Amino acid sequence: MCSSLLTLFLWREEKFTINNLNNCFDFGIFTTIISYIITDGNIYEEVVRAMEKIRYGIDPHNRLIIDHSLGKTKLLGFRRILDGEFKVNKNNTLIYHIKSPLPHDAGAPHQVKLRGRWSLTKNHSLRLTLDKWRRQTFGDQLILQGNIIGVNKNSVEFSVTTRTKDNVRSTYVLKLRGRWQADKHNRLGFMVKKEHQRSDALTFNGAWQINKNHEIIYQYQKTHLIRKLKKIHTLTFKGYWDIKEKMRISYVIDRNTNSRFDFRTKLAIFKDNYIKYQIGIELSRRVRPVKQTITLFGRWKVKRNVGLTFEVKYGNRKIQAIVFGAEVKITSRDTILFKLKNDVGSKDIGIKLELGHKILKGDAEIFVRLLKSRRESVVLIGAGWRW
């Protein structure tokens, strides 16, 4: 291949390509070709472009590293660190804006677009594993050192600090858009929206907790590389709890975009002033799941044309109701038995709740009189059922 390539090249009867050159494992033949073409600037530049590979990296100050090499020979290779700033476009593609290309790089681009798969490292840093695209090297990992500073309805924000060659420090924010979702192991996750309805998963591989306001919080400890300091970061997810399925409980962040955590449960207990679920969070670094108990305190109400509700108080005295449908009847103990259903389609959720007359609020007095008038029958309550 290489000898025929040399003959064709010397006779200038065929333009050679990167595939032909990459098959020239004989370094002597390769240098012979180079020696013949070095005097022809146009052809030489074409060979360089054909053989050039670019590897990308990030230094400890979050600056882009570009490492050029010439195929397997490493001829004319060089490595440089560029001052600049990362940004994310509407498709969550990472772009590096170069502030000041080197003077002799008149033709150098002012931005570099980097495509790949987003993920989180064990240290909760943002990582992009590059796709094979143009001259990018497949599998290169770019790790941005920074902190997660915002968990919003449909986005997650990272603070990134950089330093220029003149030792000027600055901090900026990268925002990835998508939706929140729990995985099959009950871990928190964020699905980064990509083109063509694809998504990448940022998995928070730690145990989450519930604060006194019934909100989900996530804490992680991070070691900062430069200062070698450890710091605990706390993220608070603003949302509300909902129950729609058997052995599942959901934490809704944004109903319009289906941004929510749906957790699989092992045990459910419904009492007169609280709802309790027990779940297991399966973490990659632990053999056994971490047990988590969700206890929601509130009060039960019966409302006309709505059904049975459980009102939970969140932060700033905000009250949000979990709504149920139910089959209801009076027991022999003169208590009220509810066989709970969800409020959409009246699907049985596998829970029975027994309450005394005085526990119920709202339209309870009228409802109890109705039940007593139909002592032997079941009354249906919920959306679409009038009583």
Segment 151-186, tens digit of pLDDT? 999 999 999 999 888 888 999 999 999 999 999 999
- The one-character DSSP state at 382 is B
Over the stretch 77-87, which tens digit does the pLDDT of each residue have? 567 888 999 99
Predicted confidence band at 107 (pLDDT cuts at 50, 70, 90)? low
pLDDT band at 147 (very low <50, low <70, confident <90, very high): very high
Mean pLDDT over 119-137 rounds to 82
CA dist 37 and 220 (Å) reads 58
Q: Where are the domains of the chain?
A: 2-39, 52-238, 239-387
> pLDDT by residue (tens digit) across 313-342?
998 778 999 999 999 988 888 889 999 998
Mean pLDDT, the chain, rounded, equals 81
Residue percentage of the chain with pLDDT more than 70: 76
DSSP 385: B
Instruction: Look at residue 208 in the predicted model and tell me its pLDDT.
Output: 97
**pLDDT at residue 18, rounded to an integer:** 38
- SS3 sequence, 185-220? CCCEEEEEECHHHCEEEEEECCCEEECCCCCEEEEE
Reported confidence tier of residue 53, pLDDT bands at 50, 70, 90: low
Res. 70: pLDDT tops 80: no
Residue 80: its pLDDT value, please? 85
pLDDT of 234-287, one tens digit each? 999 999 999 999 999 999 999 999 999 999 998 999 999 999 999 999 998 788
Rounded mean pLDDT, 94-119: 79
Copy the structure tokens of residue 340. Answer: 């709970």
Task: Specify the pLDDT at position 178.
Answer: 97
Residues 6+ apart with CB under 8 A from 44: 34, 37, 38
φ, ψ dihedrals at 312, nearest 5°: -115, 135
174 Cβ contact partners less than 8 Å away, ≥ 6 residues apart = 86, 87, 88, 126, 144, 146, 157, 158, 160
The full length of the chain comes to 387
Strand order from edge to edge, sheet including 155-163 = 146-151, 155-163, 169-180, 188-193, 199-204
* Chain segment 6-39, per-residue pLDDT in tens: 444 443 433 444 344 444 434 344 444 444 444 4
